[in-house]
Amino acid sequence: MNIQEYISGGIIESYVLGLAGPEERAEFEQYCSQYPELVEARIAFEISLEQQALSGTTKPPAFIRENILQEIGKGAKVIPFKPVYGRSANIWKYSAAAAVLLLAGSITWNISQMNQNKTLSSNLEKANENIMGLVAEIGKLQQNPNIKMASLKGMDASPQSFATVYWDTASHDVFLLANNLPAPPTDKQYQLWALLDGKPVDLGMMEYNIRQKKLLVRMKNVGNAQAFAITLEKMDRPDPSKPGGDMYVMGKL
């Protein structure tokens, strides 16, 4: 096919403006994956359209901005949650230092399980480096007066599991420290949830890779939370905004 003719035939404009039918769209996307010049031409049109659309526009009334920012600050929509079968917990006030010690123990244990051989010492060195970096990162978090901490204790599915969530009450940033979570099966991954009035809010999937494990992971922001929980979820499940799998850890702020 003659890609230049296709490019100049109006399909780009039709696609970008949302006027193309489903078959045309599918065909266009297919060609985009084959012809970089088509993608370039599409982007050029998108930019010129954007520039034009941004010129001489009127500002919407200010209350709309207020409403929207207030609405998104409330967190996500309400979703019914699978009942939690946990034991009541009262030791939420672990210090960050204790968390690091537990993690150090966990990593050392993991490594000694993985390698009963000569690479042990170099791995241990790497682990130590990681831990030093982590201590520095947690130190920074601790200096921030807005940070609140939640210790997530193992539930019935995995009583040995343990994780820590740091939540910035001002910026709403969420950091997760996976102190001890078993390696998930290859078709599953962990997902973090904020709980507000018993309803879960998705804070994202955790990429789990024991060998290059990122110790302290930034998750999605959340405007408000009373507790946090981690579930083990199937990858590619139809609706990742709702929890479906077993709960591994949970803890209140």
Partner 1 sequence: MNLNTTYSEQELVSALRLRDEKAFAYLYDQYSGALYSVVNKVLPDKELANDVLQTVFINIWRRFDSYDPTKGRLFTWMLNIARNAAIDEMRSKGFNNNRKNQPLPESNEVAGAITGPAIQDSGLSKVIGQLKEEWRVLLDLAYYQGFTHEEIAKAMDLPLGTVKTRIRAALIHLRTLLQ
Contact residues: partner 1, CB under 8 A = 8-10, 12-14, 16-19, 29, 32, 42-43, 45-61, 64-65, 67-69, 71-73, 76-77, 172, 218, 220-223
Residues near 77 by beta carbon (within 8 Å), at least 6 away in sequence: none
| Least distance (Å) between residue 187 CB and partner 1 | 21
CA–CA distance, 116 with 156 (Å, rounded to integer): 31
The smaller minimum CB distance to partner 1, of residues 1 and 62, is found at 62
| Least distance (Å) between residue 122 CB and partner 1 | 34
Q: Are the beta carbons of 167 and 174 closer than 8 angstroms?
A: yes
Q: Are the beta carbons of 229 and 193 closer than 8 angstroms?
A: yes
CA–CA distance, 152 with 61 (Å, rounded to integer): 44
| Least distance (Å) between residue 93 CB and partner 1 | 27
Q: Are the beta carbons of 164 and 141 closer than 8 angstroms?
A: no
The smaller minimum CB distance to partner 1, of residues 71 and 156, is found at 71
The smaller minimum CB distance to partner 1, of residues 69 and 91, is found at 69
Q: 150 - beta bridge partners?
A: 165
| Least distance (Å) between residue 16 CB and partner 1 | 5
The smaller minimum CB distance to partner 1, of residues 9 and 159, is found at 9
